[in-house]
Structure 1
């Protein structure tokens, strides 16, 4: 009989630990090795029936039984991002060194808030922050901290920007200027920071989804005329829909002239930092006051692995609090490196380890080559769809998205919106592919987000044919039903 204490990982249970993890890895490996489509198409209500009947008060008491059950309630119907026809969101397949890091950090289980809970883990995270800041070009006083993701990074950056703005605003109202194509987390951050919705002004974009510097200049002048302090301008290096990169040099010039904090949300585009061929697309990012990076998007890391970087380490004092039981001020006086001094979180995983092992085993050029590959694939997909008369394609992405829609012929064109949404749902229900959707100028479009180097042009062509089949049939049926003399 295995007693509760025997389930703890310690020097006496290492053999059981090896056996248990090996059994779990075998199950996952089997699923990944045999999965022939990215999703089963299971409906929430159907899967809930299986999960809701699980009696959590009565343990199975056996690893094999628990893994059998897990296969039923999760692994069987999981969404598998490694499959080449998963084309929906910013979810990447993960590299093996990062999975090794995940296993190590979970077992040792350090918390990155204080030195006495993490030791070398603190220094590894700090070294990676320095490496990333150097790649960006933020200068010798740069600093930062790992976060849970881009939303938290954007929130912390805007918190720091707000506190710095208070020092120079003289009590005037604050405003954030952000691209109309930027991430929704800017609005969420503003609300959490106590700003009203009208304190975020959206700057118009060009036909390729990039912020218009002239429109930004107009808003900066308007704020000055109204006696409003612009606490931050948020530029984007890789918008979620179009993968667009704002004109960072021009935006940086305007921010410098206005004395305004520039934050660059590079959650998606940060992979260009290691690209052997496309680093120039991030020109101007070195002039930012803060930068968001999501390694779990374009560095092929497991969720979560992200960071916020700042040009001036001193601004991190705005999130520094000292607790006698945790990080008393005397520790800072003794140069004890406590990461909680610069983080919005207290307890925090050693997510930096995954990136560390990836760099040590693969190197940055290999990661960048993978990101280049998916950008190349997106370019090929854009060309394929733009040459296909069945589809309308939006502007070509700087990164790895393709926004497009199926265009029915004749009178069925009136049902294009619902036909495209139907095609997305039909693909998901069949499990043959998973794609995303968005709106452009009030119309429903579909979206491929390519982050899997294993996805081929043939995969993309096959999914395009399935979309045309589902959408075309739906549009024809809708037109026949609703536009025929006897239709209702």
Structure 2
């Protein structure tokens, strides 16, 4: 029905309906006392499966009532101080205002004639971020859906840049080398603690998972550059080509930052593309006190930033930036109906010329509103708070005999595991049972709705993880959640050992 289209005749309905939706969410936020209700898949699925999507309710209030039962009541709320799970941040109000505006206007950021000011705002934010990184006057970039897409885009450029360079060099030496012959010889180097999107990108780029060389990490869980140097030398000795080195500025599990200056030196020495995955650590770009932790990032050929991780933005808000804007041409295609070549000659700024997406939301508006209302220093101070909280959390864990903590954090994650305080005559539970205790504690905690924590594996053993991105979280919250974890793990081990005996 036309009465539901957003236009000049339905502006009042839009205002009334959206206001009701906002009021429902605001009321829910104000009344939420746990990050999660603890509902299970088996409990919730029948309610959603039972809804007949071919029989509309015809009324916004009724639909919002239904939404309360199937979504709002049981959603995981990242704003709660005891949500300590994944890299999900609470969001700032200016960004939510931007989200409301961009959804209603619905600009598409692929071409100038669909976005006008949106194009210029996005470009200004790319320039601002590039300056924060220190990429130089030739820098450029594009907003993306997230870190995985940004990493893929960067590695696509690295692949084609490597092919261009190696094939030209071969031709200069009197040898013709085709791209099909070269691709199996390209190699990507990254730490064993880096994001899995590096491996997935290699596969999607036609290189295969085996093209990625996982470099060991040091005791701080940062890439071991002495091993990287050896691997790069071996690459050349075997007649292979180092396409790229992916450094991580904030690993997902440990928040560790690879030695960026040394990696920059090695990539320059071996003519490899340097990509820095700063999806998590990009918050340091606006930190009033910790910007130095990213020293060396200015040497990168490309950088991934996720504003929706450490700039407190709603999903999605990410970008991929490059030192040399000309490299973006590797992803350029001119379609006659959309961005014909003549538009580039007329200097019409079509963002699709740089992007691997066509239709794109105006996600840049959220960051724009945040900077214009709060300012960069305020965002950076919030990120500083969670980094300081993680440091305090490490002290708590390190002093608690019930837990083993892996590494002192550089950012805001803590990886740890519960250890029984008394070993008993047999030296304590079996390693597999201890692993099961960590998993049980995490699941039991989630099912209770009291808190949400993450899990991972370190050296083959099961660990738990706090991801601290909420400035509202306190050390008291950390201590309380640790007590809950210990209680669940102790109960599981006690019952398991009783059954065993």
Structure 2 length-normalised TM: 0.95
1:108-127 matches, within 5 Å, as 108-127=105-124
CA displacement at 1:45 relative to structure 2: 1.8
Q: Alignment partner of 1:77: what SS?
A: coil
**RMSD after superposition:** 0.7
Moved over 3 A (4+): none
| Unpaired runs of at least 5, structure 1 | none
Structure-1 separation of matches of 2:130 and 2:204: 27
1:183 aligns with 2:185: no
**Alignment-derived partner of residue 14 in structure 2:** 17
Q: Is the 8 A contact 1:211 1:246 kept in 2?
A: yes
Deviation string, structure 1 residues 356-377 (Cα, Å, up to 9, x no partner): 0000000000000000000001
CA displacement at 1:44 relative to structure 2: 1.0
1:427 aligns with 2:424: no
Equivalent of 2:137 in 137, 140, 143? 140
Equivalent of 2:457 in 439, 456, 460? 439
**Alignment-derived partner of residue 46 in structure 1:** 43
**Alignment-derived partner of residue 450 in structure 1:** 468
Deviation string, structure 1 residues 420-478 (Cα, Å, up to 9, x no partner): 11000000000000000011111111000000000011011000000010001111111
1:374 aligns with 2:386: yes
1:339-354 matches, within 5 Å, as 339-354=351-366
Equivalent of 2:499 in 481, 484, 488? 481
Equivalent of 2:253 in 229, 241, 244? 241
Equivalent of 1:321 in 333, 351, 354? 333
Q: Is the 8 A contact 1:407 1:413 kept in 2?
A: no
Structure-2 separation of matches of 1:130 and 1:440: 38
Structure-1 separation of matches of 2:271 and 2:206: 23
Structure 1 length-normalised TM: 0.98
Q: Alignment partner of 1:343: what SS?
A: coil
1:466 aligns with 2:487: no
Structure-2 separation of matches of 1:439 and 1:102: 36
1:152-301 matches, within 5 Å, as 152-170=149-167, 171=177, 172=182, 173-301=185-313
CA displacement at 1:168 relative to structure 2: 2.0
**Alignment-derived partner of residue 310 in structure 1:** 322
Equivalent of 2:429 in 394, 413, 431? 413
1:63 aligns with 2:68: no
Q: Is the 8 A contact 1:144 1:309 kept in 2?
A: yes
Deviation string, structure 1 residues 197-255 (Cα, Å, up to 9, x no partner): 21111001001110011000001000000111111000000000000000000000000
Structure-2 separation of matches of 1:212 and 1:206: 5
CA displacement at 1:480 relative to structure 2: 1.8
Structure-2 separation of matches of 1:333 and 1:283: 38
Q: Alignment partner of 1:40: what SS?
A: coil
Structure-1 separation of matches of 2:409 and 2:498: 36
**Alignment-derived partner of residue 107 in structure 1:** 104
Q: Is the 8 A contact 2:200 2:209 kept in 1?
A: no
Matched length = 480
Q: Is the 8 A contact 1:270 1:295 kept in 2?
A: yes
Q: Is the 8 A contact 1:392 1:404 kept in 2?
A: yes
CA displacement at 1:481 relative to structure 2: 1.3
